[in-house]
Amino acid sequence: MGLSVTTTPAPRKHLPTGRFARRTALSVPAVAMLLALLSGGCQKPLFAPTDEQSPYDRYDAIRAQRATPYVEDEFGSKKPNLRGRLLDNE
């Protein structure tokens, strides 16, 4: 004498299809990604240009041998001057 319960499936809501649905489905993640990328640009830099960059930076600064933090490449864009900062000055 078991009880049998019949359930009717819940009515499905009509999901939008077509051009509007595709545009919305693509634009929401795109806007979220754009906001995430732009929000990182508003922060101040991690290191100030006047901060010491290595244990020997104060020594180099006193003797006017400090390497510039950035150099321009042949295309005019600024790149970190890793070679100048890591090589010996002698």
d(CA 26, CA 38): 19
Predicted structure pTM score: 0.38
SS (H, E, C) the chain: CCCCCCCCCCCCCCCCCCHHHHHHHHHHHHHHHHHHHHHHHHCCCCCCCCCCCCCCHHHHHHCCCCCCCEEECCCCCEEECHHHHHCCCC
What are phi and psi for residue 58, nearest 5 degrees? -65, -40
Q: How does pLDDT run along the chain (90 residues), one tens digit per residue?
A: 556 667 777 676 766 666 667 777 778 888 888 887 777 666 676 677 777 777 777 888 888 888 887 889 899 998 888 888 777 666
